[in-house]
Structure 1
Amino acid sequence: MTTVSPRTQETDHLGRVDLTDRSAVGPNSFVNEELLPTPLPKRSWTTYNYAALWMGMAHNIPSYLLASGLIALGMNWLQAFLTITLANLIVLVPLLLNSHAGTKYGIPFPVFARAFYGLRGANLPALLRAFIGCGWFGIQTWVGGQAIYVVVGELIGPAWTEAAAFGGYPWTAWLSFAVFWLLQMAIIWRGIEALRRFENWAAPLVTVAFLALMIWIVVEVGGFGPIFAQPSELGWGAEFWPVFWPSLMGMIAFWATLSLNMPDFTRFARNQRTQVLGQVYGLPTTMSFISMVSIVVTSGTIVIYGEAIWDPVEVASRFSSPVVVVIGLVMAVLATISANVAANVVSPSYDFSNALPRLLNFRTAGLLTGVIGILIQPWRLVSDPQIYIFTWLGFYGGVLASVAGVLVAGYWVVSRTHLDLAQLYHPGGRYWFTAGWNWRAVVATALGALGAVGGAYSSAEGGGPFPVDGLIPLLKPLYDYSWMVGLVIGFVVYAALALSASRTKA
């Protein structure tokens, strides 16, 4: 058993903890420079930095697709707006609870997870998060590439837009996808500070661009009246609730990834107040704004074109002025880069680095994220709102919710926010458990995931990869509440097992 003196860590007047002697953790297979605690002098992010981060992450095309997808599924503007707003208020709770550890200890998400899963076991939640981040990276990159494809098409014409097809799309669409991929890799290669600077100036520009799109639609249809007069195809009765609950879980799942790995960013915070206020100002307000823009624009397309066009790239491509199209889609490209690099590359970079710290650093792990994001074939995931909201979001949200339940229970109930910082890097130490794994966390995660998504089903009308009766028919009713089920089971099971073990040792 490796022992480390408690004096290897110190707490400053703001309650932030750091290692007094970094050599105390020594070189081993669980340490590299990115995984060590952020030194106190480098914890400098302000409230604005976190608000801008969320503006950049939330104001993007896939966020827009959430509300427009709900409109396409039959909700009216009020139903879609309330669903998304409620979802973001709910997910803010575990997000802030897990953010606390990042600020207090200066550690990224996979190191935080070691306290409850074990030094080796932490790779389970970290890699789950990483591969979902890769999926999201691919989705955002495909959407951004489509925006580039439309912009260049407006400038060049049919020679670009009607190029020879390959794999179901013009080869120029694939080229646009590749160019957008390279732009993002260039930013991540420059490191986390380059990302912070990019978010600070890009976020306000993107907000203005989405606002301009909404104003254009309102002018075209003659005011808000025709938009808000669009009736719900579902009503508020028996047809609404079967759509509402899985939609709510899908909306929560949209940021379920960040509810786990927000310590990757809050490790740079000046203090707890800074990150809490920045996130409270940033997440609910920006998501409510982008959802309202999406609702107004998508409802407006019903009035103008007679159908709900849920893809903003397609909406922008119908503008009569090429100049307006180009400006709008350039802003869409900026929005997607801003969201994608922050939300979907930073965390997998830390997660893959945690799995192979001697082979991968932040930069090389970021490149690995980009490659996996292509292999996942993201163009298939965003082809249909049924698949996007109910299959992709609903399924992974339930799995990650069980991890969130373990982390919240472990940090706040079992550990009472007290961690031994140096031991998080020591094989054979306090967080080694059994061969580097804490079976209690694994069991809680597995049971939470089983309850959440064991009954995953696809509708007979909308299709999808799951049986109509559910993977496990008995659990089918729980799938509509997947995120909540996973969170509660993960929390309760881990708290019960860990507290029982603590009493036995006492």
Structure 2
Amino acid sequence: MESANDAASAFEILTHRSPNGHGDNLHKRTTDVEVLDSQLNSSEAEEVDPPKTLWQKIAKRAKWERHNYYDEPAKNWGEKVIRFLEVHQHKRASSKRSENIVESFLFNDDLAPVEAGRRVWDWKQYVFFWISGSFNVNTWQISATGMQLGLNWWQTWICIWIGYIAVALYVVINSRIGNFYHIAFPISSRIAYGIYFSLWIVLNRVVMGCVWYSVQTYIGSQTVQLMLKSIFGTDLETRIPNTMNTQNITTFEFMCFMLFWAAQLPALWFPPQTLRYLFTLKSIITPFAAFGFLIWTLKKADGHLALGSLTVIHPKGSVLGWNFVISIMSALDNFATLILNAPDFSRFARTKHSSIYSQLIILPLMYAIISIIGILVTSAAYTIYGVNYWSPLDVLGRFLDHQTAGNRGGVFMIALCFGIAQLGTNIASNSISVGTDMTAIFPKFINIRRGGYICAAISLAICPWNLMASSSKFTTALSAYAVFLSSISGVVCADYYVVRKGLIKLQHCYTNRPNSLYMYGTRFGTNWRAVLAYVLGIVPNFPGFLGSVGVSIPENAMRVYYLNYFVGFLISFLLYSTFCYFSPVPGMPEGVSYFDFSQWFEKWTEVENFVEQRKRFEVDGVDVDDEDFTDELSSTMEENYKTTEKV
């Protein structure tokens, strides 16, 4: 054990420097290592010839050079290219320049617990987040779904309230693990599903996020269409020859799609913690546009509203009841991805309650306000044009039928504000989440920023104009999200609230040590209970999913599918809790009855020294939360250990 301590001390010296540029005062140092460490610090502190001109700065950034004193020079051009492309981790667990693929997957800068310096979101930031998130075209479309199904205005609004109250509850219960332990969704999924099977869970979220990013980009492109039409005339679609071989999009519309897609690219550069400024800006601009649009529409309708059903079919009895259910579920289906990755944002919470009560109150309130605006605009537009418009942008486009300067200027300004709203929503809700998830899949070459750009590139292949061709197709796409994501969320929540009762050991989330808690006793790092509950949670909804795409199935199966999110979440939640009762998982609270919820083990965790603690855990097998815990070295750390001994 003495030699292990010597190696651990050398290991920490070689791989860590405190923020002030000096190594920690460890108990065991050799003279040679101290000299080497001081040389390293002095070489980093003083730059011999700093770049002066812009060209010199660009050349310095582009130059393939060693990132620290211990790196060996590249041997060939292939290695230079690899070094240029790989992500350099600052919170490294290795004395090498860059860890191997497995080690970088286990622990990297983007997935590390968020230290206090980056936890800058208080309750006001979460309020701004949901204010800015609610003011977007997609919210208006969801609110109009009930009116497309034959519900009147007040029935639709009740559905909105019920749906978004349920959303707020789901968001809050999924946020707690990120709020208290400062970890992102890819890490929280490791706890329930296992270190390695979590890759499949994260991949599901990445695919859904890319699809949703594409859909939101297409909605944003419609604001670009309106802006261009307000400037150059409403006949742009005919003046620009249509060469697209589909009835769902024209060449003009595709051009606008590419313009909005390109406009989002600069915003992908900024890190997540700086997004609070975007939320603040958006929450100031977009409400004026929304209320201005409502007032303008009511003025054009002379204050007359169509308050009854806006369809030729007036549902009654069970049909009305199930349409009511579908309208409620549209809100939940719309939020399926954000519910799952709530920890991605709650991990930046400044206090224990920053992301809890603020989201619980502001989320249903703001979405209900925006939805009633959408309902009133749709009702007023029906009295003017006799059409039950699903999207507010369609109503705004009709205002250009009369080419007056006031109409053109008003449409341009409102469309511009809606475009900003779409951009902010897409960046905050999709690209950042997808980027975070991709860092869990291939972190050696992908960080959050690169993941966002990869998401943008993939979105081009989604063809969202086919999904958005009608409200029924859009609702079907939303339901497909819920089928797969609801059961994932059910397992994660059951594991945290019922099985572990808030007890999480962070060191075990970032290791593949054979006997660590979340490897579940196998080299495959998979919790079979979670996998089985996840699959079985999908099964009841799957026949209805097939029915929604045209396969003939019984009506009762479709009705189960109408309740997709509740069904998937509840079944997976109950099954996983049952499996763990009969086959307990590692890391459950000791000395506590399975059904005893009077004791709660969730705690606010400080992670300022997490990197050092993880090094100690990997080399010595010492967990700061359990001093008696020892184990053999993880497979990815053995090589680092040997390298350190040689140095």
Normalised TM-score (structure 1): 0.89
What's 1:227 paired with? 306
Distance 1:119 1:141 in 2: 33
Separation of aligned partners in 2, 1:113 and 1:67: 32
The match for 1:486 is 568
Query: Which of 527, 535, 543 is the equivalent residue of 1:438?
Result: 527
In structure 1, C-alpha distance between the alignment counterparts of 2:147 and 2:461, rounded to whole Å? 30
Which residues in structure 2 correspond to 1:175-324 (within 5 Å)? 175-223=255-303, 226-229=305-308, 233-235=313-315, 237-319=317-399, 320=402, 321-324=407-410
CA distance in 2, matches of 1:56, 1:196: 10
Letter in 2 for 1:148: V
Secondary structure, in 3 states, of the residue corresponding to 1:239?
helix
Residues 298 and 457 (structure 1), Cα distance of their counterparts in 2 relative to 1, 3 Å cut: farther
Whole-angstrom CA distance in 2 between matches of 1:392 and 1:54: 23
Measured after TM superposition, the shift of residue 236 of structure 1 is: 5.2
2:508 alignment counterpart: 423
Which residue of 2 is the match for residue 164 of structure 1? 241
* 1:466 match: 550
Gaps of 5+ in 1: 6-21, 459-463
Secondary structure (helix, strand or coil) at the match of 2:350 reads coil
Q: Work out which of the residue numbers 483, 490, 499 in structure 2 matches 1:414.
A: 499
C-alpha displacement of 1:205: 1.1
**1:163-193 deviation per Cα after TM superposition (whole angstroms, max 9, x unaligned):** 1113243323222211211222211212213
Unaligned runs of 5+ in 2: 1-7, 9-90, 591-647
1:374-393 CA-to-partner distances (Å, cap 9, x unmatched) read: 2111111111111111x111
Q: Which amino acid aligns with 2:536?
A: L
- Choose 475-484 or 379-388, whichever is displaced more: 475-484
Q: Which moved more, 1:232-241 or 1:253-262?
A: 232-241
Match of 2:31 in 1: none
Q: Which residue of structure 1 aligns with residue 618 of structure 2?
A: none
Offset at residue 395 of structure 1 (A): 2.3
Contact 2:151 2:309 in 1 (8 A): no
2:134 is the alignment partner of 1:52: no
Range that drifts further, 494-503 or 117-126 = 494-503
Conserved in 2, the CA contact under 8 Å of 1:453 and 1:482? no
Distance 1:446 1:351, change over 3 A: same
CA apart distance, 1:457: 4.9
Q: How far is 1:363 from its partner?
A: 0.9
1:140 is matched with 216
| Distance change >3 Å, CA 83–CA 77, structure 1 → 2 | same
8 Å CA contact 2:210–2:430 kept in 1: the answer is yes
What amino acid does structure 1 have at the position aligned with 2:517? R
Distance 1:503 1:369 in 2: 35
Give the equivalent residue in structure 1 for 2:177: 101
Q: Residues of 1 paired with 2:362 and 2:473: CA distance?
A: 28
Q: Which residue of 2 aligns with 1:375?
A: 461
Equivalences, count: 479
Matched to 1:482, the amino acid is: N
TM-aligned CA deviation for residue 153 of structure 1: 1.9
How far residue 454 of structure 1 moved from its aligned partner, in angstroms, is 3.1
Q: Secondary structure at the match of 2:519?
A: coil
Question: Partner letter of residue 492 of structure 2?
Answer: L
Q: Following the alignment from structure 1 to structure 2, what is the Cα–Cα distance between the partners of residues 67 and 313?
A: 14
Partner of 1:339: 425
Larger Rg: 2
Would you say the 8 A contact 1:188–1:195 is kept in 2?
Answer: no
Contact kept, 8 Å, 2:305 with 2:376, in 1: the verdict is no
1:497 is the counterpart of 2:579: yes
Please report how far the alpha carbon of residue 145 of structure 1 lies from its aligned counterpart in structure 2 after TM superposition. 0.9
Structure 2 residue matching 1:502: 3-state secondary structure: coil
| Residue identity opposite 1:430 in structure 2 | L
User: Equivalent residue for 1:18?
Assistant: none
The answer to whether the Cα contact below 8 Å between 2:183 and 2:344 also exists between their aligned partners in 1 is: yes
Q: CA deviation at 1:417?
A: 0.9
Identical amino acids, percent of aligned pairs: 27
SS in 1 for 2:195: coil
SS in 1 for 2:372: helix
Corresponding position of 2:200: 124
Give 1:395's aligned residue: 480
Contact 1:49 1:278 (8 Å CA) reproduced: no
Cα distance change of structure 1 residues 237 and 275 upon mapping to structure 2, 3 Å threshold: same
**1:43-99 deviation per Cα after TM superposition (whole angstroms, max 9, x unaligned):** 120111111111122211111101123212211101111111101111222211110
Instruction: Determine if the alignment matches structure 1 residue 112 to structure 2 residue 193.
Output: no
Alignment root-mean-square deviation, CA: 2.4
In structure 2, the CA distance between the partners of 1:474 and 1:285, relative to structure 1 (3 Å rule), is closer
CA deviation vs aligned residue, 1:230-250 (integer Å, no higher than 9, x gap):
578535523301222233222
CA contact (8 A) 1:57 1:338 kept: yes
* 2:226 maps to 1:150: yes
CA contact (8 A) 2:179 2:346 kept: yes
Shift of 1:503: 8.1
Q: Residues of 1 paired with 2:352 and 2:435: CA distance?
A: 24
| C-alpha deviation, 1:229, in angstroms | 5.0
What is the CA distance between 1:329 and its match in structure 2?
0.3
Letter in 2 for 1:164: P
Residues 289 and 236 of structure 1: CA distance in aligned 2, closer, same or farther (over 3 Å) = farther
1:90-132 deviation line (CA, Å, top 9, x unaligned): 1222211110011111111011110011111112222212211
Paired residue type of 1:220: K
Find the aligned partners of 2:559 and 2:393 in 1 and give their Cα distance: 36
Mapped partners of 1:44, 1:110: distance in 2: 21
Of structures 1 and 2, the one with the larger relative CO (CA 8 A, separation 6+) is 1
Distance 2:128 2:454 in 1: 27
